[in-house]
Structure 1
Amino acid sequence: MTAAAVASTLVAPVVSAGPAPAAAPVGDEPITDPIPEDPIPSRLGLVLEEYAQLPETEPTPPPTDERLMRHNRINFVGEVPDGSGRMYVPDLNGPLYLLEGDQQHVYLDFRERFEHFFSGRGMGSGFGFAAFHPEFADNGIFYTVHTEGEEAIATEEPTYPNQPDSVVQSVVTEWTAEDPSADVFRGTSREIFRFGFGSQVHAIQQIDFNPTARPGDPDYGLLYLAVGDGGIAVDNDIPQDLGNPAGKILRIDPAGDNGPGGRYGIPPDNPFAGRDGALGEIFAYGMRDPHRFSWDPRSGAMYLGHIGQRAVEAVYEVRAGDNLGWSEREGYLSFRPETQCYLYPLPEDDERYGYTYPVAAYDHDAPLNWPCNSDSGHAISGGQVYRGDEVPALRGKYVFGDLVNGSVYYTEVDEMERGAERAPLHELQLFNAEGDPMRMTDFVGDGRVDLRFGVDTEGELYLLAKANGTIWKVTGTRWGQEPPVTDRVQRDLVAHYDFEHPFAADDSYEEDQGSSNSLLDLVNGGEEMRVDDGAFPGSNNALQTRQVNPDQAGDDDWKAGIWDEGGVESLRDFNGAEGITVMGWFKMTGDHPAPDTTTPDPHDRFNSVGLAGVLSGDSDGHGVRALLELIEVDGELKLVALGRRLDGGASQTFAAQQDWRTLLPRGEWVHLAATFDYTTGEMALYRNGRPVPGSYVVPGDPWQVDGTGTSPTDPRGIKVGGSYPQNTQERNPCDCRMDSLMFLDTAADHRTIAHQYRHFLRR
């Protein structure tokens, strides 16, 4: 298909006029897992080579939101379309940079140009985007969008009436450079569009030209504007109102004059041009936060990464006249403002509404021990269809990611079909230039990445992050490692903490890679407890626990855990469990046991060293159902499995025969496992995949074994590196490191544990 034909296809109206009819009631049963399928871990990995790092910058005014306190706020990288090879990079805090080889130039600084420039509140506020006219080399024209604060609202006339109680305005400006080849802008400018928003989020995120359009095509030289809903459309139908620019993608002719005030033109082939009650600028509508859009260089199809309200991050193929459904729909489900913690099934007559649904999507259910209506640290960053030459394995893939936690995904373009099943989603692995496996959180050294994507004119792919202000070029691919968990373990894996997944909304928590979706609190030390150390190939980080003040009574020791006095619902798989396995990697880094800060004698030491365990249903933060630890047995410290079947009942201990210092030599990573079969009363210990000889400490049957499992109560949590994860007191601290802690709701057999241990080492 020719570019002209593609452009004609894109601008042909495809839906009926006006907003969708009022939605019919939908079922009352909420959908708690909107997209049950997880992204497929891919063996394919991207090799990232650092391309540039931009200077530190600060928002204006100084921010109070920590999410804006970044190295800088670069948010795109592209190539100036003049054949010079120069790359341009906008920074929300004000500067527009030009990069040429090792040289960096501030081409234009919005902090200096605009009196009311505003970037200090709201994730997208500031200098948002730049779009160079396809004939920039000859005409010197380019366009930008930035935000201005409340002072501007009081004095500047908007193109269309501002949203009620507006606090920022997005301003689109046309610039004409005297010398297009210069490294610093000199020339003239004129404002072409201004609109005010009722909050500091979801304003105009991106403006751009269709790079696949050629002279003579209907789309050539037309400017697209991605206008968000202003963050206020949860309770109204603004994105469905064709008389309002919010929640829309607009398409204008900046060289025309039949638009408001004669500042731009309205293309006659826009889907709503000339229609009473509708803005002719509208290309598509029904959007919350149309964050990033791009075109497939081969087909000309337009793909949009759309940030959801509740749980669904979606990719749409957008055509003229499309209605993406917000705020009646989120992704492919029904949204109800009064119950924002859930999405709902579509009504039976959904086809009559004419909504367009995603071609790819992923969900981000809030961790079950995190408020469902709080920021869960996920949002899609729309990407690019790769059609370059340098990385053949990426051709035909749409590469995008989660801008917050830095996960990088792809879908096959030929599987992203409108009206069909969602395309399978694959998560790419990442490698540095030396070939070391890393996550984006490792590249930036922060749990919040703020990831974006860009391309040059050859279609080569770039990644960039606000966290450290760095741009990487994708220079190749390589085959990565298998997933870290074997299939045998995965099926029973309730909770898994590998310390490679800081919770992006608050990286003093660790995300669960098991089925429970429960955050692990890194108590007292927070993100500092993640250390640059790995127990096995492919691991980059471990957890450090320790006693902070050995000479003082207190509760400041570094430990980790989960705690809920009412029982942790997300750990319900341990309720009535017939078996439990606790296993992970451990490295002793200090002297043990630690000084006992609960007694007045400075020579006293605790009688235990806490490693990891599941609490009982009536635990005070110390009592357990299943625990791996060091404890004194007959006056001698031993490695043990200590368990309890019944709440309030007696515990049993299985103690290793060997000296604990032989089993856990200081400074050496060791894989340990403890298994508990509550139906038979059997317990076992394993070291590096092999059984550890030992014996039971308590005679008789303290568990009162009757062939059933534990008490039918939810455990009150998990404790790691000591007791009392609720941080009420210090008990049994461990000066040690831990990696890949796993909690299973079965007593794994010897082969399963040995296989998992070997799997770690051969990854």
Structure 2
Amino acid sequence: MGKRRWWVPVLTAIAVTGTLSIPPTAVGSDSTSAADPADEPITDPIPEKPIQSRLGLVLDEYAQLPESEATPPATDPRLIRHNRINFVGEVPDGSGREYIPDLNGPLYLLDGGDQHVYLDFAAEFEHFFSGRGMGSGFGFVTFHPEFAENGRFYTTHTEDETAIENEEPTYPNQPDSVVQSVITEWTADDPSADVFSGSSREIFRYGFSTYIHAIQQIDFNPTARSGDEDYGLLYLAVGDGGIGVRSDAPQELDNPAGKILRIDPAGTDGPNGNYGIPPSNPFVDTPDALGEIYALGMRDPHRFTWDPERDNAMYLGHIGQHAVEAVYEVEAGDNLGWSEREGDLQYRREDGCYLYPLPEDDAEYDYVYPVAAYDHDPPANWPCDSDSGHAISGGQVYRGELAELRGKYIFGDLVDGKVFYTEVEEMRRGQTRAPLHELQLFDTEGTRLRMSDFVGEGRVDLRFGIDSDRELYLLAKSNGKIWRVVDTKRGAGSEVTRKVERNLVAHYDFENPFAVDGSYEADLGSSNTLLSLINGETDMRVADGAFPGSNNALQVQQIAPEENGNDDWKAGIFDEDGVESFEAFNGVEGTTVMGWFKMTGENPSPNSNTEDPDDYYNAVGLAGILSGSSDGHEVRALLELIQVDGELRLVALGRRIDGAASQTFAAQQDWQELLPQNEWVHLAATFDYTTGEMALYRNGESIPGFYTRSDDPWEVDGSGTSATDPKGIKIGGSFPQNDREANPCNCRMDSLMFLDTAAAPSTISQQYHRFLRR
């Protein structure tokens, strides 16, 4: 598939201005002091992680939409995408035409593979705005169920501060508003035309204090039939405008923020006379409440959908603040709890990192909690109060022709592109959350890929769509493509054996770029520690998997051998105070370092620290764990090529006590036979600190070797290593803190694993063969 292109987003701060006056008593207010000794912060809100399913979706590329740009031009890299398509649906007129809104302005129609612009909002509205905020622009479109006869459809878009100065909102704007969301009704002269011509009228307008969490989705209930209470009523998913973190607006019934509204676009008894308020809405008779409110207590109601079966239940994907992404079954009058709750835990404004247990009187507030959820689980070495790259992309209940998917609510994470499902029958209000399963993804050739592979970037910007047959589509802003789910496929299980998994502290397969910053690799091991790709950053991921099912590898190399510089490509982690998330290696009795390696250039490399062109480094760095007193070179467990008695050899080099002597176990066989040029080889090194035994393995088989010292440099006494956290790991070079260059490797690596035990020969052999059977 060629070399991957990985995108490195830059986080930008969003200034929040203005304050709201909070009434003395807010609905459901139960704030508790964070100093309460009976309350302990919850560091892992949802310990149950998604189950890795063998079931997979087969994705067939369906459409490529044109590039587009924001108005005004964006500076936030998260908005500078191929385009900003965010849904695909089918026009309800029997024509089979599909519609696709692009936040940057165009509304596309797809007709038998042909695509064209039906209406361009950037050109239509003088104050159209899409240049700041993830949801700003032409947000959504929905067609009246009788569009074929009446030609009516409805849209939401945002307008800038000039519009705020000149246009009257339906309800008072949030203080110091910077954008307004506008709902427009359009009437086409000819509903079957390829390009819109007709009339329009504004029906709703509301201003927000920040550029985030405006109106995300508007829609009709497609399961309602003529004569039903819900037929022809329009739902509006209104975010909190970003102020829920500092106000009770989502809990207050006198404003639209943080609510789902339900209106009758054919009515006239709304505040501006441009729509009606359905008499069956839950708060119609509540004093001082907006009759439009259908449900409340939301931060960012991203996408909602209905299941045509199971009593036409409505499901909402709700984007959390910093910890929990949730799916709710929503009924009239529900209060989801924000900002007193995030998911089913207590949120406290004064704490930017953690959630708290529910108070004893929680039942009094009658909050509704998720039927499914997952948490952010931020990397251990990433600030807890920073964006860790997660937000739910609300999905669809599948009721199409693929038997294995029927009855599943399929959704995902819009940032990293993971796709999940839950069984609808297990999503029950008031009961234990339904288990989440992560789906595998395949192209039509049967190759397993991640969405980051499909789009060629770490940040996917995933969305879901559906047609009238309930068949499923996936969309990505990263490359502006749409894929149709055409089949299911059973994939291989985990590439990690159970024996290895039990002791797997860190694991990097170079298929999982950290979505917030692609120059980091996410850890699949228990430590959850980001690996830094040093100097080469995203270019270090190359399309060259070492084993079946692997698509990418890590390229490390020397860049400028003639210069005394510090630009070699390597990877690693370094913390002068010790890497706390590597505590499993503190005082450990044994360690294993293993992975796939392929030599791709000259090894060893010319010594760039000297002027002698004939001077070469005396070692080639592969992978190792640093000791607790290391400056970046002294190691606790290392797999490397070094000079032994004047001859370069593959070695396991280890140190039991920080600052004490090391022992080396060297392979007898020539290293170039063990690591032939341009050939993938699986290597492992084990270190038993209690006995002083070390071993090397190649492709699952033990490598004969010898110890370079006959004495006892480890001072073996039956105990483990020093009781210190390692200062990090190094990959492809000696100094992961990147303050100098030494011992670069011109090679590629795949699926690097670091275990807190000296794995048995059978464990290493089984792991090697597991790779080959995938």
Greater mean deviation of Cα atoms: 643-652 or 213-222: 643-652
Superimposed CA distance per residue, residues 115-167 of structure 1 (whole angstroms, 9 cap, x where no aligned partner):
11111111111111001000000100000001111111111111111111211
Per-residue deviation at 1:661? 0.4
The offset of 1:274, in angstroms, is 2.8
How far apart are the structure 1 equivalents of 2:277 and 2:633? 69
1:102 is displaced (CA, Å) by 2.1
SS at 1:260 equivalent? coil
Q: Output the amino acid matched with 2:500.
A: V
Tell me, what secondary structure is at the counterpart of 2:93?
coil
Letter in 1 for 2:667: A
Matched, 1:29 2:29: no
1:324 counterpart = 2:336: yes
What secondary structure, in the 3-state scheme, does the structure 2 residue paired with 1:591 have? coil
Partner residue in 1 for 2:382: 370
TM-score normalized by the length of structure 1: 0.97
Instruction: Kindly state the Cα deviation for residue 171 of structure 1 after the two structures are TM-superposed.
Output: 0.8
In structure 1, which of residues 417, 420, 425 is the aligned counterpart of residue 431 of structure 2? 420
Q: Who is 1:732 aligned against?
A: 743
The answer as to whether partners of 2:26 and 2:248 remain within 8 angstroms in 1 is: no
Can you give the 5+ residue segments of structure 2 that lack an aligned partner in the other structure?
Answer: 1-24
Aligned amino acid, residue 159 of structure 1: T
Instruction: Show the counterpart of 1:632.
Output: 643
Matched pairs, number: 746
- For residue 111 of structure 1, what is the aligned residue in structure 2? 122
Q: Is the 8 A contact 1:201 1:231 kept in 2?
A: yes
Match of 2:411 in 1: 400
Q: CA deviation at 1:351?
A: 0.9
Q: Secondary structure at the match of 1:66?
A: coil
State the Cα deviation string for residues 419-450 of structure 1 (Å, max 9, x = none).
11110100000100111111101100000100
Tell me if structure 2 keeps the 8 A contact 1:23–1:353.
no
Aligned to 2:446: 435
Instruction: Give the residue type in structure 1 aligned to 2:547.
Output: F
Residue 287 of structure 1 and its aligned partner are, at CA, apart by 0.5
Q: Aligned with 1:382: secondary structure?
A: strand
How many angstroms does 1:23 deviate by? 4.3
Aligned partners of 2:173, 2:578: CA distance in 1, in Å? 48
In structure 2, distance between residues paired with 1:235 and 1:616 = 45
- The equivalences for 1:263-282 within 5 A come to 263-282=274-293
Tell me the CA shift for residue 580 of structure 1: 0.8
Alpha-carbon distance, 1:28 to partner: 2.6
Deviations 1:570-625 (A, max 9, x none): 11111111111110000100010001111121211111111111111111111111
Query: Which residue is equivalent to 1:346?
Result: 358
| 2:400 maps to amino acid | G
Structure 1 residue corresponding to 2:215, chosen from 192, 200, 204: 204
Note the C-alpha offset of 1:22. Answer: 2.9
**TM-score if structure 2 supplies the norm length?**
0.95
- How many angstroms apart in 2 are the aligned matches of 1:430 and 1:339? 37
Tell me, in whole angstroms, the C-alpha distance in 2 between the residues paired with 1:568 and 1:751: 30
Q: Deviations over 1:10-68 (max 9, x none)?
A: xxxxxxx9822434567431111111111001110100001001000111111111111
Show the 5 A alignment for 1:570-609.
570-609=581-620
Counterpart among 188, 197, 208 of residue 199 in structure 2: 188
Structure 1 CA distance for aligned equivalents of residues 359 and 716 of structure 2: 51
Contact 1:98–1:107 (CA<8 Å) still a contact in 2?
Answer: yes
- For residues 585 and 39 of structure 2, the distance between their equivalents in structure 1, rounded to whole angstroms, comes to 30
AA in 1 matched with 2:156 = V
Aligned partners of 2:28 and 2:340 also within 8 Å: no
**Cα distance in 1 for residues equivalent to 2:73 and 2:690:** 60
Q: Does 1:536 align with 2:547?
A: yes
CA distance in 2, matches of 1:497, 1:337: 35
* CA distance in 2: counterparts of 1:615 and 1:119, whole angstroms: 48
| Number of the residue aligned with 1:156 | 167
Secondary structure of 1:447's counterpart equals coil
1:486 aligns with 2:494: no
- SS at structure 2 position matched to 1:337: coil
| Equivalent residue runs for 1:116-265 within 5 Å | 116-265=127-276
Shift of 1:202: 0.7
Number of the residue aligned with 1:313: 325
- 1: CA distance, partners of 2:626 / 2:71: 48
- Structure 2 residue 310 is the aligned partner of structure 1 residue 302: no
Q: Which amino acid aligns with 1:364?
A: H
Q: Contact conserved, 1:18 with 1:242, CA < 8 A, in 2?
A: no
Distance 2:635 2:265 in 1: 68
CA contact (8 A) 1:18 1:278 kept: no
In 2, Cα distance between equivalents of 1:556 and 1:597: 11
Q: Which ranges of 4 or more aligned residues in structure 1 deviate by more than 4 Å?
A: 23-27
Distance 1:600 1:647 in 2: 34
List per-residue Cα deviations over 1:240-276 (Å, max 9, x = no partner).
0111110111111111111111011110110001321
Q: What does residue 13 of structure 1 align with?
A: none
Q: Partner residue of 1:99?
A: 110
C-alpha displacement of 1:662? 0.4
**Is 1:472 the counterpart of 2:483 in the alignment?**
yes
Q: Does 1:704 align with 2:715?
A: yes
Asked if the contact 2:639/2:684 (under 8 Å) is kept, the reply is yes
Distance 2:76 2:709 in 1: 55
Contact 1:75 1:464 in 2 (8 A): yes
Distance 2:286 2:268 in 1: 18
Deviation at 1:660, TM superposition (A): 0.4
Q: Which residue of structure 2 lines up, in the alignment, with residue 10 of structure 1?
A: none
Distance 2:496 2:131 in 1: 43
Q: Which residue in the other structure is 2:91 paired with?
A: 80
Instruction: Give SS of 2:673's match.
Output: helix
Distance 1:338 1:649 in 2: 46
SS across alignment from 2:294: strand
1:699 Cα deviation after fit:
2.6
**55, 72, 86: which one pairs with 1:44?**
55
Structure 1 CA distance, aligned partners of 2:41 and 2:636?
33
Determine the structure 2 residue equivalent to 1:382: 394
Q: How does 1:606-617 map to 2 (within 5 A)?
A: 606-617=617-628
Of the three residues 536, 551, 556, the one matched with 1:525 is: 536
CA contact (8 A) 1:492 1:746 kept: yes
Instruction: Note the alpha carbon deviations across 1:550-569, whole angstroms, 9 max, x for none.
Output: 11111111111111111111
